[in-house]
């Protein structure tokens, strides 16, 4: 069994660290919040007083932090965890961050002789607790092979998406597609309402026709056709608008720096920004159908 330093014990990182403990690993946790660290100590882990302490004399470091600036701040420089770790320490960053930052940090780790992967997740807090996350992993074949056994303790599906940063890249491409398809489905229902077509009728037709997609058949944004979708629960998340907005902005940043044309991705980011600005950042992202109805009234 390995000794693992875990940095970032929030809504996602906390339950992920608990699953590593349950699997029999020794976990040394660090977070800016003492409460978050205490939960790991109560479950049999140990407390690190700093990120550097969490990365010292361990076999593996897992991080689950808010954004690229936090990851760069923790990993890079003379006071960072790469410099503090022993050679050969395996680094696994599970945060959702911009592709450029992920590649910069992995290049620094590999140059120092520390294998590293980016391994962002989908599956949310429920998936983190149940150990059923999907990991999209970027890095060398050797780094992926080293990381996979640990990821299996926290998730169900582990996909090697290619070289460094490709985990982040795959995640934001998928979530950009999801944001666009959700708005498309919402627009179709909003138009159908104006034209006098029942929700269930459009669902029955489109769910077996060329308009079929996950946003319609699994996550239907109007109540009724898919009883488990958040539309039936007053648009409680699910997947919150501000999380979708974060991923859409990361996709726009990546499109800008790589020179890809993503006009619908840009439109989706602008619409979710508008919905968030209207005070709906905590609502489920399928609730944007309500904003479309309001826009029609103006």
Binding part of the chain for ligand NAD, among 67-75, 152-160, 177-185, 277-285 by CB under 6 A, reads 67-75
Spell out, one character per residue from 223 to 262, where the chain touches ligand NAD: x when CB under 6 A holds, - when not: -----------------------x----------------
Which of these ranges, 66-74, 136-144, 196-204, 211-219, lies near ligand NAD under the rule CB under 6 A?
A: 66-74
Q: Which is nearest to 267 in space by CA: 209, 164, 187?
A: 187
Q: What angle do CA 287, 290, 294 make, to 5 degrees?
A: 155
Interacting residue with ligand NAD among 85, 96, 101, 280 (CB under 6 A): 96
Out of 23, 124, 197, 207, the only residue in the binding site for ligand NAD (CB under 6 A) is: 124
With CA atoms as reference, report the closest residue to 172 among 275, 246, 270.
Answer: 246
Say whether residue 282 binds ligand NAD (CB under 6 A).
Answer: no
Number of helices (H) and strands (E), helices first, in the chain? Answer: 14, 9
Contacts of 56 (CB under 8 A, 6+ apart): 5, 84, 85, 86
For the chain, the residue count is: 298
**Token representation of residue 269:** 């980011």
DSSP state of 278: I
7 in contact with ligand NAD (CB under 6 A): yes
CB nearer to ligand NAD: pick between 30 and 203: 30
Question: Applying CB under 6 A, which of residues 4, 18, 48, 65 lies at the interface with ligand NAD?
Answer: 65
Which residue from 214, 103, 73 is spatially nearest to 169, judged by alpha carbons? 103
Helix (H) or strand (E) holding 155: strand 155-162
Q: Centre a 10 Å sphere on the Cβ of residue 186 and count the other Cβ atoms it contains.
A: 24
Tokens 């960072």 locate to 80
- Respond yes or no: is residue 171 known to be catalytic: yes
Q: Tell me if 64 contacts ligand NAD by CB under 6 A.
A: yes
The Cα–Cα gap between 78 and 15 comes to 30
Binding of residue 32 to ligand NAD (CB under 6 A): yes
Note whether 289 binds ligand NAD by CB under 6 A: no
In the list 41, 79, 107, 125, the residue contacting ligand NAD (rule: CB under 6 A) is 125
- Least separation in angstroms between CB 224 and ligand NAD: 26
- For position 99 contacting ligand NAD by CB under 6 A, the verdict is no
The site for ligand NAD (CB under 6 A) is made up of 7-13, 30-33, 36, 51, 64-66, 70, 73-74, 95-96, 121-122, 124-125, 246
Residues catalogued as catalytic: 171
């Amino acid at each position: 069994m390995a000794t693992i330093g875990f940095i970032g014990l929030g809504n996602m990182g906390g339950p992920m660290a608990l699953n590593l403990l349950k699997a029999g690993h020794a976990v040394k946790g660090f977070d800016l919040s003492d409460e978050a660290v205490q939960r790991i100590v109560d479950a049999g882990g140990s407390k690190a007083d700093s990120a550097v302490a969490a990365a010292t004399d361990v076999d593996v470091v897992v991080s689950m932090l808010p954004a690229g600036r936090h990851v760069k701040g923790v990993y890079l420089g003379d006071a960072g965890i790469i410099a503090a770790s022993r050679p050969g320490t395996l680094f696994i960053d599970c945060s959702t961050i911009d592709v450029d930052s992920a590649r910069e940090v992995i290049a620094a780790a590999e140059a120092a002789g520390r294998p590293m992967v980016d391994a962002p997740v989908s599956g949310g807090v429920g998936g983190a607790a149940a150990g059923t996350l999907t990991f999209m992993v970027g890095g060398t074949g050797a780094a992926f092979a080293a990381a996979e056994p640990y990821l299996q303790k926290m998730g169900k599906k582990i996909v090697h998406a290619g070289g460094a940063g490709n985990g982040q890249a795959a995640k934001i491409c998928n979530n950009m597609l999801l944001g666009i398809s959700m708005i498309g489905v919402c627009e179709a229902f909003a138009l159908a309402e104006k034209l006098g077509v029942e929700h269930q009728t459009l669902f029955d037709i489109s769910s077996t026709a060329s308009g079929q997609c996950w946003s319609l058949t699994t996550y239907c944004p109007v109540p009724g056709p898919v009883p488990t979708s958040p539309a039936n629960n007053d648009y409680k998340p699910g997947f919150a608008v501000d999380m979708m907005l974060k991923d859409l902005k990361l996709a726009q940043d990546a499109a800008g720096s790589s020179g890809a044309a993503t006009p619908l991705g840009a439109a989706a980011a602008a619409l979710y920004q508008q919905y968030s600005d209207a005070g709906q950042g905590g609502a489920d992202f399928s609730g944007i159908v309500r904003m479309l109805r309001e826009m029609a009234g103006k």
